[in-house]
Amino acid sequence: MNDITHGDSSIKSRLLDFFFPNRCPFCGGFISFDRLCCEQCFSEIMWADEYICRRCGKPVRPECDCKAPHSYSLCASAAYYSGNVKDGIYSLKFKNNLNSAIIFGRALRDMLDEMGVLYDIDITVPVPMSPKQQRMRGYNQAEEIAKAIVKGTDIPVRTDLIRRRFSKTAQHDLSRDERHTAAHKNYYTDIHGTPLSGMTVLLADDVLTTGATLNACSELLTALGAECVICAAAATV
C-alpha cells in the first residue's frame, strides 16, 4: 500500500477540485486533486504491525482482547488509532473528507488478501449509522471504508441488513459494560429468516475500541445465517 493517488482524473473531479480544493485528511494542507494525502503524512501513518492481533484486532500489548468472547472470527485493523491517524478519522467523520476512507480501505483490502480471506467474502456490511445521523453527515464513513475495501472486486456492499436506532449518548461516553448493553440495544435487523445462510460476511467500521459494536453487529449477521463474520476496522485503539 504505497500508492497515494486517487485514480480519478476525470474532468468532473478537476472541476470539483476548483470549487472544493482537495485537502490532506491528516494535516489539512492543500493537495493536488488526484492525491489522497500528502507524502509526509502518508509516511507518518502508524500502520498495523505484528503487535496487532489478527483474531480480535486489538494491540497485543499489554494484552489483546482474545480472552473475551467474540462473535466474529477475525478482525483486520489497518492502523493504530494514534498520531495523525486520529486526524484522518476526524476529518472522515466531521470534515467531509473521504480520502482517508480510501487510504484505509485499500490497506484493509491488502491485509485481507494477505490473510488469505479476501476472496472468501460473499458480502460486505458497513456498521450502520442511524438514519438521522446519516442525514446530518451526508454519508456513513463505515460505508465509505467498505466501498473502498471491495472496489475492483464483485463483492457487494449491503446496507439493508442491519440498522441503528438513534441514540443521544455517544459510545465513547460509556463504560465497557454500558457499551456492550447499548450496542445490543442500538443495532437491530428487520429482516426475517436466514438469507445469509452459509455466507462469509465482512463487517466494516472506522474505529475499533471495545469491540462492543462489532460484536453486536456480527451477532445479528450470524442470526441471519452468516457462517463466518470477518471484521475490518480502519484503526484500533
Q: Residue 111 Cβ, how far from Zn ion at the closest point, in Å?
A: 15
**Quick one: three-class SS letters along 169-225?**
CCHHHCCHHHHHHHHHHHEECCCCCCCCCCCEEEEEEEEECCCHHHHHHHHHHHHCC
Q: Which residues pair with 123 in a beta bridge?
A: 201
Nearest to Zn ion of 35, 163 (CB atom): 35
Nearest to Zn ion of 38, 123 (CB atom): 38
Nearest to Zn ion of 49, 154 (CB atom): 49
Residue 164 has φ and ψ, to the nearest 5°, of -120, 135
Listed in sequence order, the residues at least 6 apart from 53 whose beta carbon sits closer than 8 Å to its beta carbon are 59, 60, 64, 65, 66, 75
Q: Residue 46 Cβ, how far from Zn ion at the closest point, in Å?
A: 14
Q: Give the Cβ contact number of residue 110 at 10 Å.
A: 15
Nearest to Zn ion of 36, 224 (CB atom): 36
Q: Residue 78 Cβ, how far from Zn ion at the closest point, in Å?
A: 16
Q: Residue 26 Cβ, how far from Zn ion at the closest point, in Å?
A: 4
Q: Residue 192 Cβ, how far from Zn ion at the closest point, in Å?
A: 34
Residue 163 and residue 142 in contact, taking contact as beta carbons nearer than 8 Å: no
Residues interacting with Zn ion, by CB under 5 A?
24, 26-27, 38, 41, 53, 55-56, 64, 66
Nearest to Zn ion of 40, 133 (CB atom): 40
| Among candidate residues 223, 229, 198, 179, the one with its CA nearest the CA of residue 76 | 229
Bond from prior residue into 62 cis (ω within 30 degrees of 0): yes
